[in-house]
Structure 1
Amino acid sequence: MRLLKFVLLSCLFAFALTACQTTGTQNNKLSEMQYNYSAAIRWGDFEGAVNLMKPELRAKMAPTPLQLERYKQIQVSGYADVGSSADKEKGTAVRLVNIGVINRHTLAERNVRYTEAWEWDPEIKTWWLISGLPDFWEGQ
């Protein structure tokens, strides 16, 4: 009887440890993808940022060559995380950021608020951006 309890407790412990490790891996992957995305935006690598979009949405939301030329007219001066939340059951995450943007022609700086939306892909165990690139010209 003692042996049976020990085996059952060992199995439960192993299962709990595996579940924690999976959640930890998912959190780590989200942090890694968000870091890569923010680095791409900060350095003006908008084509690289597009590669972090969900493949099904990439074809619909990818910027045109003209839009990519427009992105070359700005310089990102800052990228600050304002707040974030995640729903692990639904496999979604949202992060609100402030982005400092400088127009290369006028040298005028302004701040843009942008909401990143992410979706977990359990098959390949990665997060995909589902919100598209920031629209730095909205309201202008």
Structure 2
Amino acid sequence: MRRVLIPLATLSMLLLGGCATDQRKDALTDTLNAYAGVVRWSDYNGAATFVDPKVREAHPVSPLEMSRYQQYKVSGYDEGKGPTHHGEFEVSQDVQINLVNVNTQSERVITDHQTWHYDVEGKHWWLVSGLPDISRQ
């Protein structure tokens, strides 16, 4: 009986570990899709809710910075090859964002270098790189 229990226990542990990985992967997909959605709608206040609360506290977006974001509408959001995994709890991706200045109607393209971290306790992916830097030319 003991010979059966040890392999069965080992198999159970591996399956449970796989479930956690699948949940993290599903949560990542859901989070990246939701973030892309709010950015595509130029909802910068909504996008800020995806930023890690610790990062928001350390580097709050000032009203002036938020007003700069409001000057731009997103006309394109391309994830390219998608996220690159750096271990179990961190991914990065480079996203090409097309921005149209609402005052001049000129369009420009920026690359947003995103870094996402998984909070194990909260079971949530957080953007730790902050909102896209729209000040770059």
Cα RMSD after superposing both structures: 1.3
Partner of 1:103: 101
Query: What residue identity is the alignment partner of 1:88?
Result: G
- Whether 1:132 and 2:130 are equivalent positions in the alignment is yes
Contact persistence 1:79–1:98 (CA under 8 A): yes
**Mapped partners of 1:135, 1:50: distance in 2:** 13
Query: What residue identity is the alignment partner of 1:86?
Result: H
Partner of 1:39: 37
Moved over 3 A (4+): none
Provide Cα deviations, 1:53-107, integer angstroms capped at 9, x if missing partner: 1111112333211111111111101111123211234x21101110011111111
Partner of 1:8: 6
Partner of 1:82: 80
Larger C-alpha radius of gyration, 1 or 2? 1
**Mapped partners of 1:88, 1:31: distance in 2:** 16
What TM-score, normalized by structure 1, do the two folds share?
0.90
Runs of 5+ consecutive residues of structure 1 not aligned to the other structure: none
Question: Percent identity among equivalent residues?
Answer: 29
**Mapped partners of 1:53, 1:15: distance in 2:** 33
Query: What residue identity is the alignment partner of 2:33?
Result: Y
**Mapped partners of 1:40, 1:67: distance in 2:** 18
Contact persistence 1:82–1:97 (CA under 8 A): yes
2:65 aligned to which of 26, 47, 67 = 67
- Whether 1:115 and 2:91 are equivalent positions in the alignment is no
Q: How does 1:16-31 map to 2 (within 5 A)?
A: 16-31=14-29
What TM-score, normalized by structure 2, do the two folds share?
0.92
Contact persistence 1:74–1:102 (CA under 8 A): yes
Provide Cα deviations, 1:26-74, integer angstroms capped at 9, x if missing partner: 1111111111111111111111111111111112333211111111111
Query: What residue identity is the alignment partner of 1:119?
Result: H
